[in-house]
A and B are shown apart, each in its own frame.
Chain A
Amino acid sequence: MIRTALVLELRNLLRSPLRLLVVPLVLVIGVFVLVQGQQDVDRWQDAIDTGQLAQEESIAEALGYFADGEKGPPDRSWVDLGQAHWQDMYAATRIARMPAPLSSIAFASAESGAVTVRVNRFADPLLEQGNKIENPALVAAGGLDLVTVLALLLPLLVLALGVEVGGYERSAGVLPLVRVQSGGDRTWIWARCIAVGAIAATVGLLLCFVAVLTAGADLGSGLTLTLLVLAYVAFWTALLGVVAQVSRNPSHGAVALGAAWIVFCVLIPSIGVERSAALAASDFALDLTVDARDAGSAISKMDEDDLFAGLFARFPELKGKEPTPRMSGRRAANEGMRIAVLDARMQRREGRGDAFAQLVSKMSLATPTLAFTNALEQLAGRGPAAAREFNKAVAEAAGVRMEHAIAASWSGDPQDQDDFSDLVHSTPTRIQPPTPIWRGSLAILLAWVLLILGGGAVFARRFRS
């Protein structure tokens, strides 16, 4: 029966120029945004390459001074590459946040964290900015990328193709005929809905295929994307089926489906945004600004025992390496405590980030559209989780640099080219995006499908009785 329904739906599609237009329209918009997404990833890669080039120039300059037996540039007498401080400055290693295989699908994400950071012991990842200059007036419009196309337009495609399913049969009085010919009207309506879903899924899968192909993504990412899209289409198909079972005429169906789309894709997400605004209301980043700036002077006023205890808690390897008298190593210790303070700040930020993540998780339960959007952003490595992982890696690298600089400063040994090379090689250069967590979102989507099917069956039975 599904095959018959599919043939009918395809014939309906070919007969109605307006509906026929909708399918290529979604496809064209999808391909267009994918091309834009790929260009965005290219710009991301360019930023990484530019950083890499600057890093190589700085390192080559330092190696040149070592080769010539000079301490530094002749017009800057204070520069001394024999000191750990200047080695740290010239080993201008960039840490790059690598794009995920399917990064192009979510290029309009509001998350715009840094993609490359110059690492030295004073690097503060929390103050770094992304490589894009954004026009806030355009960002506020919500962005148009494949995530938006799949999350908002794919359901509309299901609606546009299936708006009259069930309602037409009832209003035209053909249901008794269907019952006689096929044995059950519900089966026929479901078959038509599944056919509509199959057409929408084909459009979605075609876009997934193009996305995977243009990005050169791996099979795993491609399969995950496919699974999520199929589950999302299944939800809207199930919803179409339930509405089609009860709609009296196409107008009834249109209003019911339109209302459902508005509730799931506009109203509930808008409540989520309002909640996130409420969560952000009290955050004016005092910890990242005023407190961070004043941390230096607070550290310099710390009691010496407390200072060294704090420092050794963060850098246990340094214990026992302090110079005698300990006071002479105070300046380096002060700098080291900045890393401990940075860690504490990052932890607090993580706490705030967790509150937002919990909000997104809760809102994802409330509407499959948000679960789907969230899963795709994670798959694209564009979400806050990816930015946070990158920041952690930068802070970690800054900590390693700091430990090295303190140890060198306390030992008093002059640093040579080997130390410089060790410093360069001890810093990671590329941070891969974290493994996307999408199974929870897929489970939510499937739970919604079951809920709609179960609830719909009960509702349809009551409606009929």
Chain B
Amino acid sequence: MIRTLFLNEWRALLRDGRGAVVLAVGVVLALISSWTSASTHARQDFARNAATDAARGAWDERTGDSPHSRAHYGDYVFRPSGPLAKLDSGLEAVTGRVIYTEGHRQNSAVHKPQQEAASLLRYDRLEPSTVLQLLAPLVLVLAGFGVVSSERESGRLKLLWLQGVQPMALIMAKTFALWTLGAALCLLVVGAHLVFAEEIDLGRTVVFLALHFTTLWVVAAVVAAVSAWSRRPGTAATILLSCWVLGGIVMPRLAAMAATVAEPLPGRDAFQAAMEGDREQGMDGHNPRDQRRMDLEQQVLDEYGVSSRSELPVNLGGLIMQADEEYGAQVWDKHFGELEEHLQRQYSFAGFFSFLNPLQATDRLSMAVAGTGLTSHLDFLRETEDFRREMVRKLNEEDAFGVHLDANGKRRRTTTQDFYTGFEAFHYEPLSLGAQLSRAKTDIAALIFWLVGATAILGMTARRLHRGGVL
């Protein structure tokens, strides 16, 4: 019976001009968003590779540097896109694209070119994830607000009861029909992605698909239930459109605002002042009168059994710089660690709104699956810092030990150009899907809550329809 009702629903949807238009618009948007997103990302990948090559070329071609000068010269890391960024670009528009890695200091990610169109960034981008998380639910609302209420208004519902249709079968068939409409859009979007993509991460793509299938089931169930509980299609349309506006547009902003108010972040000045304050407690690699520096100097002299720096077979400067770096790393770990916890606390706070809004849960999970969310961004920052530390450590060690005393007792540098060209460029390995999802437990729980809740509501709706009886 469910099958007959399901097919009948689809027939009705395609026969109805409004349904056909909604469906056609959905298909067009899905295809356009997939194509534009793919072409934008292709250009972005090309530009990033060119930038990386330019930075690497500059590093390799530079000559005449001492290792310490090279640490000041530094390197640039260009943020790579997430594995499924073509489907969901996540935070890319609002995070910096470039990090300057140099000796002595840790820099933040800078350059957000889309800021030049700041007034546009208040709105969502037309990309596959927006189509699936914002527009596909709208398609379901517009196509489905009358699935039961229209039947009731036209009197067909009584006819169906007389024919022996079970309320549960009816409501399930209608929900399933709506869901397949959403699922078809989903398959179209992801299918287009597979066509346009050069590399495919099948595991993430399947999870992305499953996530949106789940959400669209929740939406379809809510649409069918509201339609069944409303006396008139107009009431159902009004309620469902209001819910869509709240869930898709208003509540994510309210959640962000609430998190900002509940867990306010420090200002950049205060943060930097605290970091610089702690840093000053360590040795200043450029200040020869610093007490800690003098202590280290004495320690090295003792170690080599000499009485002056000129007798040392190593360059003391390199050792001091490395000691300063290690202290700076501790300071950074402390402050950045606290800041990271703070950002995570804000994010977790906003996450509780996912229990009120399934679209938010989906949005956050989608970014996690695509590798473009906050967890990925913070991981990228940590990896970049690790890269910087390793680069500076190698340079400092070369600065310290890449010397020898010649016959006249003068220190000569033995560093060759091969030493510099031997540095590997930054390579970022994204967090695994499992690691991403393990940090999104609240959102997973919220989505399960909505899945179970929405399906339970269908059962309650069927019972209500049953009690309503024929007359």
- CA gap between A271 and B36 in the complex, in Å: 10
From B78, B238, B259, B374, contact of A163 by CB (8 A): B238
Check B98 against A285 for contact (C-beta < 8 Å).
yes
Decide yes or no: A147 and B123 within 8 Å by CB, A142-B253, A252-B234 being known contacts: no
A320 within 8 A of B: no
B247 within 8 A of A: no
Check B269 against A131 for contact (C-beta < 8 Å).
yes
Q: Which B residues are CB-close (under 8 A) to A141?
A: 252-253, 255-256, 350
- CA gap between A282 and B43 in the complex, in Å: 6
Instruction: List the one stretch of B124-132, B166-174, B397-405 in contact with chain A.
Output: B124-132
Check B120 against A289 for contact (C-beta < 8 Å).
no
> A135-176: which residues lie under 8 A (CB-CB) from chain B?
135-144, 147-148, 151-153, 156, 160, 163, 167
B265 within 8 A of A: yes
Check B233 against A277 for contact (C-beta < 8 Å).
no
From B73, B257, B347, contact of A137 by CB (8 A): B347
- CA gap between A464 and B279 in the complex, in Å: 77
B74 within 8 A of A: yes
User: Which one of A259, A262, A280 has the highest number of Cβ atoms from chain B below 10 Å of its Cβ?
Assistant: A280
Check A270 against B78 for contact (C-beta < 8 Å).
no
- CA gap between A33 and B39 in the complex, in Å: 38
A368 within 8 A of B: no
**Chain A, Cβ-Cβ closest to B239:** A254
Check A276 against B117 for contact (C-beta < 8 Å).
yes
- CA gap between A138 and B266 in the complex, in Å: 15
From A130, A151, A251, A273, contact of B125 by CB (8 A): A273
> A211-267: which residues lie under 8 A (CB-CB) from chain B?
249-252, 254-255, 258-259, 261-262, 265-267
A127 within 8 A of B: yes
**What sequence of 0s and 1s flags, for each residue 346-379 of chain A, a beta carbon within 8 Å of any chain B beta carbon?**
0000001100110110010000001001100100
CB distance from A79 to the nearest CB of B (A): 12
A278 within 8 A of B: yes
**A interface residues, how many (CB within 8 angstroms):** 93
Check A377 against B119 for contact (C-beta < 8 Å).
yes
User: Which one of A111, A135, A167, A258 has the highest number of Cβ atoms from chain B below 10 Å of its Cβ?
Assistant: A135
> A36-57: which residues lie under 8 A (CB-CB) from chain B?
36, 43, 46-47, 50-51
**What sequence of 0s and 1s flags, for each residue 324-344 of chain B, a beta carbon within 8 Å of any chain A beta carbon?**
000000000000000100010
Q: Which A residues are CB-close (under 8 A) to B268?
A: 47, 129-133
**What sequence of 0s and 1s flags, for each residue 265-292 of chain A, a beta carbon within 8 Å of any chain B beta carbon?**
1110111111011111111111011100
Q: Which A residues are CB-close (under 8 A) to B5?
A: none
**B interface residues, how many (CB within 8 angstroms):** 93
Q: Which A residues are CB-close (under 8 A) to B421?
A: none
A317 within 8 A of B: no
From A137, A250, A277, A353, contact of B93 by CB (8 A): A277
Q: Which A residues are CB-close (under 8 A) to B233?
A: 251
From B41, B55, B269, contact of A290 by CB (8 A): B55
**Chain B, Cβ-Cβ closest to A378:** B119
Check A255 against B47 for contact (C-beta < 8 Å).
no
**Chain B, Cβ-Cβ closest to A357:** B116
CB distance from B124 to the nearest CB of A (A): 5
Check B76 against A289 for contact (C-beta < 8 Å).
yes
Q: Which B residues are CB-close (under 8 A) to A134?
A: 94, 265
Check B110 against A127 for contact (C-beta < 8 Å).
yes
From A33, A111, A278, contact of B115 by CB (8 A): A111
Decide yes or no: A277 and B254 within 8 Å by CB, A129-B268, A137-B91, A152-B249 being known contacts: no
- CA gap between A377 and B115 in the complex, in Å: 13
Decide yes or no: A290 and B54 within 8 Å by CB, A281-B40, A384-B115 being known contacts: yes
Q: Which A residues are CB-close (under 8 A) to B97?
A: 284-285
Decide yes or no: A148 and B253 within 8 Å by CB, A137-B350, A284-B97 being known contacts: yes
Check A284 against B48 for contact (C-beta < 8 Å).
yes
CB distance from B400 to the nearest CB of A (A): 24
- CA gap between A252 and B115 in the complex, in Å: 39
Check B113 against A283 for contact (C-beta < 8 Å).
yes
A68 within 8 A of B: no
**Chain A, Cβ-Cβ closest to B138:** A262
Decide yes or no: A254 and B234 within 8 Å by CB, A134-B94, A278-B40 being known contacts: yes
Decide yes or no: A374 and B119 within 8 Å by CB, A43-B267, A251-B232, A285-B98 being known contacts: yes
Check A33 against B257 for contact (C-beta < 8 Å).
yes
- CA gap between A112 and B121 in the complex, in Å: 12
- CA gap between A365 and B261 in the complex, in Å: 35
Check B261 against A377 for contact (C-beta < 8 Å).
no
> B82-137: which residues lie under 8 A (CB-CB) from chain A?
89-91, 93-95, 97-98, 100, 108, 110-127, 130, 134-135
Q: Which A residues are CB-close (under 8 A) to B234?
A: 167, 249-252, 254
B237 within 8 A of A: yes
Check B238 against A110 for contact (C-beta < 8 Å).
no
Check B237 against A293 for contact (C-beta < 8 Å).
no
Check B245 against A156 for contact (C-beta < 8 Å).
yes
Decide yes or no: A138 and B116 within 8 Å by CB, A110-B122, A133-B267, A270-B123 being known contacts: no
Q: What are 12 contact pairs spanning A and B, CB under 8 A?
A: A43-B267, A47-B269, A127-B110, A137-B346, A139-B91, A140-B94, A142-B252, A258-B241, A270-B130, A273-B124, A274-B33, A282-B43
New contact pairs (5) apart from A254-B234, A360-B119, CB-CB < 8 Å: A108-B122, A110-B122, A140-B91, A285-B51, A356-B116
Taking Cβ atoms with an 8 Å cutoff, the residues of B that contact A are 33, 36-37, 39-41, 43-44, 46-48, 50-51, 54-55, 58, 62, 73-74, 76, 78, 89-91, 93-95, 97-98, 100, 108, 110-127, 130, 134-135, 138, 142, 145, 232-235, 237-238, 241-242, 245, 248-250, 252-257, 259-261, 265-269, 271, 287, 289, 339, 343, 346-347, 350, 364, 373-374, 377
Taking Cβ atoms with an 8 Å cutoff, the residues of A that contact B are 29, 33, 36, 43, 46-47, 50-51, 75-76, 108-113, 127, 129-144, 147-148, 151-153, 156, 160, 163, 167, 249-252, 254-255, 258-259, 261-262, 265-267, 269-274, 276-286, 288-290, 293-294, 297, 352-353, 356-357, 359-360, 363, 370, 373-374, 377, 382-384, 387
Q: What 4 A-B pairs are tightest by C-beta distance, nearest first?
A: A251-B234, A269-B123, A356-B116, A110-B121
